[in-house]
Chain A
Amino acid sequence: MIHILLSRWRQGYRTLPYPKELPALPERFRGRPLIHPERCPDGCRACAEACPTEAIAFGATGPRIDLGRCLFCPDCTEACPEGAIEYTQEHRLATRTREDLSLGPAVEYRLAAALDGELKRLFGRSLKLRVVSAGGCNGCEVDVNVLGTLAWDLGRFGIQFVASPRHADGLLLCGPVTQNMELAVRKTYDAIPGPKLVIAVGACAIAGGPYYRQEEQLGGAASVVPVDLFIPGCPPHPLTILDGLLRLLGRLEPRAGTA
């Protein structure tokens, strides 16, 4: 017993002060990309050609990145001769619609808006989620799981992962939804009492990720169930996932988390 107490004293209090303060992110962290269209040489398409998931398209204002497809790999930044795309430390990425994930140079990126009305009243201070991995590689799964550790302490926000869909307010999905998981995803969704939410975590759950060309998968959660929150990344950083969840619940009012 004395050893346990001594360890407890040595290990100290380690829950992160988030959302009051942002935890330090590593220098090489690849967060939301920043596009400098003015640096693009005429007719250059090097980034779009290098992108392994065809996430980059060219419009009138220069390159646009579909963050739903983006794996946050350095292929485009390495391919660009002028540094027209760079990764920033911005961890906030979650959106309410698939279209909002399209990141352009001119318009502001529309982060997820909070629930309102009845849904806000029901879930704002208590959200129970059933997590289903449907072809996920265990990358998103482990970074979702991490939110339950004492460092992030998800419970203090009233969010909890539960064992039964019957106890859940919503479904958190990882993975591209394999053909072999389609039925299980549908059944789990149907077993959750309404009104219910669906949260798609990671590039696979949004658009199929590295497997988007494979016929063994369906191209993400939205192919099977309606999605209320998209959290991009491969996998998203736990901070990005938590930011998305809190943003959806209206727990991050404009001030908070904008350090």
Chain B
Amino acid sequence: MTLVLPILRNGQRLPLREVPELPIREFREAILQRIHEGDRLACLCADFDLHLHAVLADDAGQALRALRTKLDAPRYPALTPDCPQAHLFEREIAEQTGIVPEGHPWLKPVRFHLPWTGAPDPWQRGGAPVPGAMDFYRVEGEEVHEVAVGPVHAGVIEPGHFRFQCHGERVFHLEIALGYQHRGLEKALLGGPHPLSLKQAETACGDSSIAHAWAYCRLLEGLAGVEITPRVDLVRGVALELERVANHVGDLGALSGDVGFLPTASFCGRIRGDWLNLSAEGCGSRLGRDWLRPGGLRQDLEPARAAAMRPRLDRAWMDTKDAVELLWGAASVMIRFEAAGRVDPDQAREIGLVGVAARACGLSRDVRQDHPFGPYGTRPVPVAQAESGNVHSRAWVRWLELGESAGFLSAALASLAESEADPRPRPLPPRAPEHLCISLTEGWRGEVLHLAWTDAQGRFARYKIVDPSFHNWFGLALALRGEQVSDFPLCNKSFNLSYCGHDL
């Protein structure tokens, strides 16, 4: 028997009653079968009423499928043993709602808070949880030792705790405990949109402000059933690609710094600023704050402004090319990049990697291609790919994407320079009550998912954010297996995942 699930496109709304509600057995089977056929588990979450919701992404078919189940009791047989992609989602469900996925092999806290609903704490900690206090995986043996790092690290970066099980320099296993950045974001969005909701979306992960703000805006526009004009979409595309380029340039510079190749490291540090300043030219903020708004833009790129940005773009791109091309000709860089941090493509698929890290393993996953949004339907951006899954591949994918984004930006600014700016957007019509909407964008790290369904008044009954880092932190742990502890900074930088995007 095959179950036919309704197909949902990225950013479309669907009445909640049309989301198939299956008994838990069939819910599990439907998920496992579609995963077996090549779908990804883009989201799995629970509400406060013993419902589980799942979103399956069929990337080849440009389709999303939502399904749900109603549990009789706060427990169900875990999916993780049969579907490793569910691993962190099921831990999150246990922590947020107290629903226990039974048989989960690695059921530990994610963000170290008590269930929102006042449900019993699955770990029976009795009182406020202590961050990082959990049952860490341990390798025993006379010559085995443990290295613990964090939460505060030696650098200007966010906090997280890392535990390495080592034999000499060799890492058997790395376990990552996060949650230190938890600000209660999803809880804050309940009952919204509130006046601060857009700001909170922009700061869900502050180096991906546009990716998250755009996902948030499209979600509201989808729930309200509004079409956005192509010109507005194009300006949003410019904002997103500027964000991508600035971060990729920064990452390539930081990677070369981590292998001691200082020319590219110091050039890129500055050039990244040139790209950020282009964003500031568009909206006043280097990080793209207050550029987008639901229904349109807060600040348009008028023809004259778009035209003035083009020569600066060309100059920044010339400097970028000059600085980054040095890397590929330096033997000392290549040998370090190629020898570190390999993730096996099959494992990458199994754990559901997204974004740069997935494409570096030869997986063709890019929301801009798979679930096109904004301008990417009519202006497709080729998916950059590499094969080896190591640090070099992740650097190379970024380099290829820089070229594609620079091309996109140049063409987009040219056409914006020739089209009249839109008049200010009108307020959005009311959001449809009791509807579900799923909105995906491709941030510079990978897939950003925002999902919400509304109550009878059109307010958010549940709001779920999945930052690409949520899918990818486990990939970093796998990349470290068999590597040297001393290569951790390099491997970590090649993923450059977000702590606050994970912790929310």
Task: Report chain B residues within 8 Å CB of A140.
Answer: 206
| B112, closest chain A residue (CB) | A180
Against A, the Cβ 8 Å flags (1 = close, 0 = not) of B253-272 are 00000000001001101101
Bound complex: CA of A129 vs CA of B419, how far in Å?
A: 49
B206 contact from A26, A217, A235, Cβ within 8 A:
A235
Is B152 an interface residue, CB under 8 A from the partner? yes
A225 within 8 Å of B by Cβ?
A: no
12 A-B pairs in the complex with CB atoms less than 8 angstroms apart: A4-B263, A26-B277, A134-B159, A139-B209, A148-B269, A149-B266, A180-B131, A181-B180, A184-B152, A210-B199, A211-B200, A214-B184
Residue A3 interfacial (CB < 8 Å) = yes
How close is B502's CB to chain A, nearest CB, in angstroms? 11
Which of B179, B298, B323 contacts A180, CB < 8 Å?
B179
Q: Is the CB of A149 within 8 A of B158?
A: no
In the complex, B113 has a CB within 8 A of chain A: yes
Does residue A138 face the partner (Cβ distance < 8 Å to B)?
Answer: yes
Determine how close the nearest CB of chain B comes to the CB of A142; give it in whole angstroms.
6
Which B residues touch A125, using CB under 8 A? none
Q: Which listed residue (A28, A180, A215) contacts B299, Cβ 8 A?
A: A28
Number of B residues contacting the other chain (C-beta, 8 Å)? 61
Judge if B498 is at the interface, Cβ distance under 8 Å.
Answer: yes
A28 touches which one: B111, B159, B263, B283 (CB < 8 A)?
B283
B-side contacts of A26, CB under 8 Å? 277, 280-281, 284
| Residues of B close to A3: CB separation below 8 A | 326, 329
Which of B61-69, B77-85, B285-293, B350-358 lies at the interface? B285-293
| Chain B positions within 8 Å of A30 at CB level | 284-285
- Chain A residue at minimal CB-CB distance from B319: A11
In the complex, B155 has a CB within 8 A of chain A = yes
CB-contact partner of B187 in A163, A184, A214, under 8 A: A214
Interface residue? A198 (CB, 8 A)? no
Residues of chain A having any CB pair with chain B under 8 Å: 3-4, 7-8, 10-11, 14, 26-30, 50, 52-53, 71, 73-75, 87, 131-146, 148-151, 161, 163-164, 175-176, 178-181, 183-184, 188, 209-211, 213-217, 234-235, 237
CA distance A148 to B284 in the complex (A): 22
Say whether A136 contacts B326, CB under 8 Å.
no
Look across to chain B and name the residue whose beta carbon is closest to the beta carbon of A181: B180
- C-alpha spacing A29/B183, complex, angstroms: 28
CB atoms of B179 and A138 under 8 A apart: no
Q: Are B199 and A138 in contact (CB under 8 A)?
A: no
Chain A residues with CB under 8 A of B126: none
Q: Shortest beta-carbon distance, A108 to chain B, in Å?
A: 25
Let me know if B73 is at the binding interface, CB within 8 A.
Answer: no
Who on chain B is nearest to A210 by CB? B199
Chain B residue contacts of A175, Cβ below 8 A: 181
Known A131-B156, A175-B181, A178-B181; further 11 A-B contacts with Cβ < 8 A: A4-B263, A75-B195, A134-B159, A136-B158, A138-B158, A138-B207, A139-B289, A142-B287, A181-B131, A184-B159, A215-B184
Q: List residues of B (136-172) whose CB comes within 8 Å of A's CBs.
A: 151-152, 154-159
Cβ contacts under 8 Å, B111 to chain A: 180
Q: How distant is A111 from chain B, measured CB to nearest CB, in Å?
A: 22
Q: How far is the CA of A141 from the CA of B501 in the complex (A)?
A: 14
Give chain B residues whose Cβ lies under 8 Å from the Cβ of A10. Answer: 322
Any A CB within 8 A of the CB of B232:
no
Please report the C-alpha to C-alpha distance between residue A163 and residue B263 in the assembled complex, in whole angstroms.
Answer: 23
What residues of chain B lie closer than 8 Å to A28, measured between beta carbons?
A: 280-284, 299
Q: Which residues of A contact B299 (CB under 8 A)?
A: 28
Q: Please state if B199 and A71 are interface contacts (CB–CB under 8 Å).
A: yes
Judge whether A150 and B152 touch: CB under 8 Å.
Answer: no
A176 touches B183 (CB 8 A): yes
B283 proximity list for chain A (CB < 8 A): 28
Residues of A within 8 A of B184 (CB): 211, 214-217
Closest partner residue, chain A, to B151 (CB atom): A184
Chain A residue at minimum C-beta to C-beta distance from B209: A139
Other-chain residue from A137, A161, A237 in contact with B156 (beta carbon distance below 8 A): A161
Interface centre among A7, A50, A132, A133 (most CB of B within 10 A): A133
Complex-state Cα separation, A120 to B268, whole angstroms: 35
Residues of B contacting A133 with CB < 8 Å? 156-159, 181, 499
B485 to chain A, nearest CB (A): 16
User: In the assembly, what is the distance between CA of A214 and CA of B189, in Å?
Assistant: 11
- Chain A, Cβ-Cβ closest to B200: A210
A71 to B196, CA, bound (A): 10
Q: In the bound complex, do residue B289 and residue A73 qualify as a contact, i.e. CB atoms below 8 Å apart?
A: yes
Known: A4-B263, A7-B323, A184-B180. A74 touches B298 (CB 8 A): yes
**By the criterion CB–CB under 8 Å, are A164 and B154 in contact?**
yes
Query: A181 and B281 in contact (CB under 8 A), knowing A7-B263, A139-B287?
Result: no
How close is B429's CB to chain A, nearest CB, in angstroms? Answer: 20
A53 to B182, CA, bound (A): 20
Q: How many angstroms from the CA of A53 to the CA of B195 in the assembled complex?
A: 9
Which residues from chain B contact A188 at a C-beta distance below 8 Å?
A: 152
Complex Cα–Cα for A99 and B142 (A): 58
Q: Are B180 and A151 in touch, CB under 8 angstroms? A: no
B273 interfacial by beta-carbon distance below 8 Å:
yes
Confirm or deny: B188 has a beta carbon within 8 angstroms of a beta carbon on chain A: yes
Q: Say yes or no: is B203 at the interface (Cβ < 8 Å to chain A).
A: yes
The 7 closest A-B pairs by CB, nearest first: A137-B206, A139-B206, A163-B154, A28-B284, A149-B269, A216-B184, A137-B203
CB of A27, distance to nearest CB on chain B (Å) = 7
Is B500 part of the binding interface, using a Cβ–Cβ cutoff of 8 Å? yes
Q: Which residues of B contact A146 (CB under 8 A)?
A: 269, 272-273
A151-B152 in contact (CB<8A): no
Does B340 reach chain A (CB closer than 8 Å)? no
Complex contacts, A179 vs chain B, CB 8 Å: 128, 182
